[in-house]
Structure 1
Amino acid sequence: MISGAERGKGGRALSAHLLKAENEHVEVIRPRGLGSPGLHEQLEELVALSLGGRTDRPVYHVHADPDPAVVDNDGARALFWRLFEAEFNLASQPFCGAVHVKHGRRHEHRIYSLVRPSGQVVDLAWDYLRRERCARVVEFEFGMPVPTPSKHARAIIKALREAGRDDVAAWMEASGTTEAARPVARLSPQERLIEERTGVPLDDLRAAALAAWQASADGEGFLAALRERGLDLRAGRSGPVVVDATGTAHLATRLIGAAARRTDGTRIPAAAVRERLAGLTLQTHGDGHGRAVGPDHARARGAEAAPGGLGDGAGAGRDAGGADAHRRPDGARDGGGRHGGGGVEHALDRIRARPAAARLRGRLRMLPPGRNAALAEALDAVRARQWIAVPGMVDMWGLPLVEPHRRV
């Protein structure tokens, strides 16, 4: 049995994905804790229910795909969801979803709310291993001859014994799953989505990056070899990135390491990649001005900030004499701050400019423990889709208080 999961913000793209016509059959399942009629509306309601939680990723998208050898597909899915909800304490959480038939295989998607009525967020620590353990129990109960290979086999067996399921643990050990080579997926879920979006096969990109690596002995040679193959190297947030023909960035250490492992089973360490590329001065990926990043970048920025350059005592925000251009003679600063000005009025402007949902979420977080009534009122307002201002009343930030428009 295969299961997968992804945590996110929700949104219409997710519900549209579950309703895609590319499936041979789509059946919207009966939701729990939701009153909206369609899947799009159910997901909107699910997200609205989560506004009081201290998280910006309030939904959990999970799918369960029993093996074709399991005759009772519906029964296997039902057992998996019972075990899954018990494992993560989700039995009372709202969810919506759909059952798909694709390439002859029947599987189910569910989207759960991770925010409890109290505002507490469900703990998803080690979620992959915990879902795998549920799947192994389902396979055992429905007569699978051997379990699905898993790189967490030893940890799953240990957890099963601690839970009193020695029968399932013994079945896994007898199958030799702990001695088998650990399976490695060709693509992660995120990489699969990137490949679908760009149309660039990741295996081809890995092979080209590895060939450039093997054809070079230093950073400059690697950069030249990449460009010969229609690729480029830029500076990313987590290190150098290889940029493909569509402009999509791929972390160089991960790309080269995965390519080497698939070629001869030996992974090139990330430290070795970083060491070779350490002396390069690279442009920042996504910077339209081609800003340079490298050993001389900090000095270059200081030199560009004033005509006098560093030798004249100038730097960012200073004049040629080295004086702070933002300070008045009395020592105070004029309009300081990264956003072009300080002071409470600027902070209030930024708060007022936030989306309505973000402002509502912040307001709910500041309510006292008995905030469930306020959360219910907020949910009613989202469903009504109309808000009216309370005349003459504002909150602590100076924002007008609003309440749902009640239809007569």
Structure 2
Amino acid sequence: MAHHLMKSENEVTVITARGLGSLGLHDQIRELVAQSAGGRTDRPIYHLFCSPDPTIADNAAARVRFWALFETEFGMAGQPYCGVEHRKGGRLHEHRVYGIVRPSGTVVNLAWDYARREKCGRIVEFEFGMDAVPSKHARSIAKRLRQDRRSDVADWLVASGTLESARPVARLTPRERLIEERTGIGLDDLRRATLVAWRETEDGPAFLVALRARGLDLRQGRVGPVVVDAGGASHLATRILGAAGRRFEGERILAATVKGRLGNLQLEGMTDGRRGHHATFGDAGAPAPLDPGGPGAAGPGRVGLRRPGGDPVRPDGGGVGRDGRGPGTAMGRLRSITPARGLVLKRGLTGLDPMLARYGAAAARARHATDRIDAKAIHDQRRAWALWGRTDIWGVPLT
């Protein structure tokens, strides 16, 4: 984070920190993290920036007003922070990094933070005589403004027409922007090439050939086929084609349509970037003596475990080896082994059975725990949105 904020491509000025004793930005961020050690969160800091429109005459006043509204909205008043001012291309903007764990150990509620931050931005635009910036959250923001007794801003927002205009769609998500910066490959170029390959073909195999002719590839990812660009980065095929159709043709290609065409393809697996789902002896270092498939489990030619992945129908990524041979060839080899070799193989498989059962039970418990955590997170988000802006009879916010 500190490295990003101190990039030499900007004119950087470190701002005065609040609630921190360290001097340099790197040490200040470390101190923020250390202060948050008692909080129940794995993301103890929160980064955002304020970049007023260049036509606003008083840039500093606009930023001061935004930060005041932001801290009131999120209950951040008094929370420690550090940050920098950037001047790039004549435009001045300010980054801040807040600690979100309070001295009591409670964590600041950041539910629906995009919409809440945009509400602060709309108020600044209204008070400084600017036009309303279109937002996909415009209707929700207008509703909340009325609940906060800012009907003047809500009426201005309605009059601007942004509540009825088409919702803007960002060209890139923050994650996609980082991938584009890291690889140097334009995502729009990748989308366009993938879309052309899609439109000029009628089935999965032809689509794969068309992609490879353009220097791309198609692999089996964890949740479905992925398009692999020239730099080795993977992009979910349904997402790439859906975004390409929406951006260049005005209508999204449905995920069901993509899955229907590509569902029967036998693709090489993709794990950890460029690797397949096929287990290779020695990939993870020397196995433990009693580890299934390790030195103490069986003799030469032992049966190894394949890493789970793919989908319920193809738990090992499709069951097709690197040489393209299917399960029939493997069955033929098993039938042709000698009785003595069969006994060795049976002993090895029998020894693996208890461990496999144990692994399966552990995986089931992990899935159930994940489901419970996800359900609780969804419940907390909905509850926070429903109670946003409400107080009890003493005026204490409901959480």
TM-score, normalising length from structure 2?
0.72
What is the deviation of 1:287? 5.2
Could you say which residue in structure 1 is the equivalent of 2:260? 275
CA contact (8 A) 1:319 1:325 kept: no
Q: Does 1:133 align with 2:119?
A: yes
3-state DSSP of counterpart to 1:282:
coil
Q: Does 1:122 align with 2:108?
A: yes
3-state DSSP of counterpart to 1:234:
strand
Q: 1:21 to 1:287 in 2, by over 3 A?
A: closer
3-state DSSP of counterpart to 2:350:
coil
| Matching of residues 389-400 of structure 1 within 5 Å | none
State the distance in 2 between where 1:322 and 1:309 align. Answer: 15
Could you say which residue in structure 2 is the equivalent of 1:395? none
CA contact (8 A) 2:266 2:318 kept: no
Q: 1:337 to 1:186 in 2, by over 3 A?
A: same
Partner deviation per Cα, 1:261-283 (whole Å, 9 max, x = no partner):
11121001112112221111222
Identity %: 56
Q: 1:89 to 1:305 in 2, by over 3 A?
A: farther
CA contact (8 A) 2:101 2:108 kept: yes
Structure 1 unaligned residues grouped into runs of 5+: 1-13, 313-317, 339-408
State the distance in 2 between where 1:311 and 1:77 align. Answer: 77
State the distance in 1 between where 2:354 and 2:239 align. Answer: 48
| Matching of residues 61-76 of structure 1 within 5 Å | 61-76=47-62
| Matching of residues 58-137 of structure 1 within 5 Å | 58-137=44-123
What is the deviation of 1:120? 2.4
Aligned-partner residue type, residue 31 of structure 1:
A
Could you say which residue in structure 2 is the equivalent of 1:9? none
Aligned-partner residue type, residue 211 of structure 2:
L
Structure 2 unaligned residues grouped into runs of 5+: 280-309, 338-342, 360-399
State the distance in 1 between where 2:347 and 2:242 align. Answer: 47
Aligned match for 1:31, one of 7, 17, 21: 17
Could you say which residue in structure 2 is the equivalent of 1:175? 160
Could you say which residue in structure 1 is the equivalent of 2:207? 222
State the distance in 2 between where 1:143 and 1:31 align. Answer: 30
- Name the Cα RMSD after superposition: 2.9
Q: 1:287 to 1:19 in 2, by over 3 A?
A: closer
Aligned-partner residue type, residue 3 of structure 2:
A
What is the deviation of 1:36? 0.4
| Matching of residues 175-194 of structure 1 within 5 Å | 175-194=160-179
Aligned-partner residue type, residue 152 of structure 2:
D
Partner deviation per Cα, 1:106-141 (whole Å, 9 max, x = no partner):
110001112222332222111111100000001111
Q: 1:332 to 1:133 in 2, by over 3 A?
A: closer
Aligned match for 1:206, one of 191, 206, 218: 191
3-state DSSP of counterpart to 2:219:
strand
State the distance in 2 between where 1:141 and 1:148 align. Answer: 14
Q: 1:300 to 1:280 in 2, by over 3 A?
A: closer
Aligned match for 1:158, one of 140, 143, 150: 143
What is the deviation of 1:55? 2.2
State the distance in 2 between where 1:299 and 1:141 align. Answer: 63
Aligned-partner residue type, residue 238 of structure 2:
T
Q: Does 1:326 align with 2:351?
A: yes
State the distance in 1 between where 2:335 and 2:243 align. Answer: 43
Partner deviation per Cα, 1:47-88 (whole Å, 9 max, x = no partner):
111222222222111011111111111111111111111111
Q: Does 1:240 align with 2:204?
A: no
Aligned-partner residue type, residue 167 of structure 2:
R
| Matching of residues 317-356 of structure 1 within 5 Å | 320-321=345-346, 324-326=349-351
State the distance in 1 between where 2:108 and 2:332 align. Answer: 56
Aligned match for 2:3, one of 6, 16, 20: 16
Aligned match for 2:182, one of 197, 217, 225: 197
- Structure of greater relative contact order (alpha carbons < 8 Å, 6+ residues apart): 1
State the distance in 2 between where 1:332 and 1:245 align. Answer: 43
Aligned-partner residue type, residue 135 of structure 2:
S
Count of residues paired in the alignment? 314
What is the deviation of 1:320? 4.2
Q: 1:42 to 1:268 in 2, by over 3 A?
A: same
3-state DSSP of counterpart to 2:93:
strand
What is the deviation of 1:95? 0.9
Q: 1:231 to 1:180 in 2, by over 3 A?
A: same
3-state DSSP of counterpart to 2:259:
helix
State the distance in 1 between where 2:168 and 2:93 align. Answer: 22
